Structure 1
Amino acid sequence: MSRARTREVVKAVDTLMPPEDVMYATGISSRTSLDKYVAAGWFPTPVEVGPPRRNGSAGKVAWLKSEVDAWILARAAARTVASPLAAFDGARQPA
């Protein structure tokens, strides 16, 4: 495979983010909170990247970077941002 083709393939593959990177990127403070947000449907579901544990619970998980980025952008778009000039709307100029 040529180098140019290899770069195309690499660009087509999403990046996996471990929980620590997800928490750092989003500001979510703990793994417990991250798991609660996923369970509530408020945060993207992770991808299993390891075999299940002996007790049947999920093995190692990671998140798709594109989904985490989209979540961050959606949160930013949903916020209410006041205009920096809002405090001056309707304000009277001193005489």
Structure 2
Amino acid sequence: MPTDQPKTWYVSFEVPKKVRKTSAQRRPRQSESFSTELDAKRLARQKFEQGYIVSAGTINPCTPRRAISSTLIHHWFAETSEPPFVEPASFEDTKEADLA
């Protein structure tokens, strides 16, 4: 039986007051939780591009704690979630290292 990953990230979003419609006033702010930062970034970027006010962060007791305010959300989008690709050493490189 597969176990679900714990949800460690949240994204909170709000329609700006000047854009808000009468039907949206019942729930002006909503949030969703995610198992990975990448999934959280995807929704946050989508809502941000739609004009929503977006903030995000980690859910307690997850460490390290992160809280990304709406004013800094675009910096979070620019962060790389995956480590940079590094080409593996060739066989010749490892042979030379062994001889030294």
For normalisation by structure 2, the TM-score amounts to 0.28
Q: Hey, which of these two has a bigger chunk of strand by percent?
A: 2
Q: Hey, which of these two has a bigger chunk of helix by percent?
A: 1
